[in-house]
Amino acid sequence: MNIDETELFERTSVSKAVLSLVVPTVISQLITVLYNMADTFFIGQTGDPNQVAASNLCMPMFLFLSGIANLFGIGGSSLISRCLGVGDKEKATYTSAFCIWTSVTVTLTYGIGIYLLCPIILPAFGANMDTYEYCRQYLFWTVAIGSIPTVLNAEFAHLIRSEGYSKQASFGMILGAMLNIILDPIFITILNMQISGAALATMLSNFVAMVYFIFLIMKKRSRTVLTLSPRFFSIKYKIPSEVFLVGLPSTFMSLMSTISNITLNRLMSSYCNQAIAGVGIAKKIDMLSFGIATGMSQGVIPLIGYNYSAKNYKRMKKAIYSTFILSISVAIVCTILLFTCANPIVRAFIDDELTVKYGQVFQRIICITGPCILLH
């Protein structure tokens, strides 16, 4: 950690420090949400509700990768920040290696397992003869092939942020998001790959972002506690338990979100594919609120963790309070905007009357939960 990051964590005014860490993180999260929305948007431009429905049916399995990334990313970054707060760089290095290599093993197992079980999982989750093949194509690129880049992309951002490199972490996330937004229309429309093109664009963009983070860590290896070397992998110092203690709640939230989405998709499948598509579009829009909430909570973690370990509890509490006030203000704005503009926002994704009908109704229902999401 260099002098600038120490100044930010210890002496910069709390409100300024919170904004310095939170704003880049929120921006990167919003762009990440936009790149997730880009798949649905450009698939919707095909005018085929079946493909939009298929991407929605696959989304719970893809988004659970975020749960894995948060388990080791949030858990690891919190522990690394606390280690740096007490000057224990050795434990911080062991923590980074443990998180990176354990997540790779878990993710690889998950990705291969999900794809091999497609014939069982997809029908159980609501896929029918019109959506099954689209679902299988999407999962091949995003989960079977793209699971490790997806997880490491998000995890690296967390770990790098723990040392105060918030702007570099945000740049990596933005790089992947912008690349996906650029590749989506090329693969989906110009090359006519349709839903497979969306999945391929997502995989490639996450891969490029992952490579950026790898090069960043290698470039800063003399100034960072993070390491890519498996020889530093260790479970001593109670590293696993401390990582899981912080990371598991976020992973549990992802698991509950996955289960709720699967349940909702299954219920909607008893109506029609347009219902699945409309609900899927509304949930993608609702991710804007979740992205802001995630960016705020993740951005302030290094500041809180550092001052907690340094026993500067007064500064830590001020950071929590400042973030809370900021969250309330943003929650109110998001709720009003998403409720009043439901119809045109959903229609921008697909010009199909039945899909829009289901989408706008569901969006107006779930946008009311915006304040709850932002204050979680």
Q: How far apart are CA 229 and CA 180, in angstroms?
A: 29
Q: Is residue 166 part of a domain?
A: yes
Is 4 inside any structural domain?
Answer: no
Q: Tell me the percentage of the chain whose pLDDT exceeds 90.
A: 30
What pLDDT, on a 0 to 100 scale, did the predictor assign at position 223?
81
Q: What is the mean pLDDT of residues 206-213?
A: 94
In a domain? residue 67: yes
For residue 6, tell me if it sits in a domain.
no
Q: Which two tokens stand for residue 265?
A: 């998709």
Total structural domains within the chain: 1
> Given this model, what pLDDT does residue 9 score?
76
Task: Write the CA distances from 129 to 119, 273, 334, integer angstroms.
Answer: 12, 11, 37
Distance separating alpha carbons of residues 102 and 97, to the nearest angstrom: 8
Task: Report angle CA 256, 262, 266 to the nearest 5 degrees.
Answer: 145
Which amino acid makes up residue 60?
Answer: P
Distance CA 137, CA 151 (A): 20
pLDDT tens readout for residues 144-172: 999 999 999 999 998 998 887 878 888 88
**pLDDT in the model for residue 371:** 55
Cα within 13 Å of Cα(375), Cβ side: 15
User: Could you report the per-residue pLDDT of 56-111, keeping only the tens digit for each?
Assistant: 899 889 889 989 999 999 998 888 888 887 888 888 889 999 999 999 999 999 99
Q: Does residue 367 register a pLDDT over 80?
A: no
Q: What is the CA radius of gyration of the chain?
A: 20
| Per-residue pLDDT at 5 | 60
Q: Write down the H helix ranges in the chain.
A: 3-10, 14-44, 49-85, 89-116, 118-124, 132-139, 147-161, 166-185, 194-219, 239-268, 273-309, 313-340, 342-349, 353-366, 370-374
pLDDT at 247 over 90: no
Distance, CA of 151 to CA of 291 (rounded, Å): 16
Identify whether 133 is part of a domain. Answer: yes
- Tell me, yes or no, whether 157 lies in a domain: yes
pLDDT value, residue 3:
45
DSSP state of 232: G
User: HSE on the CB side for 267, CA within 13 Å?
Assistant: 8
Cα four-point dihedral sign 225, 299, 69, 306: positive
The mean pLDDT value of the chain amounts to 85
Which residues does 223 contact at the CB level (< 8 Å), separation at least 6?
2
Asked whether residue 258 is domain-assigned, the answer is yes
Supply the range of the domain harboring residue 91.
11-374
Cβ burial, residue 228 (10 Å; 0-12/13-18/19+)? middle
Q: What burial class does residue 327 get, using C-beta atoms within 10 Å of its C-beta: 0-12 exposed, 13-18 middle, 19+ buried?
A: buried
pTM of the complete model:
0.79
Q: Is 103 within a domain?
A: yes
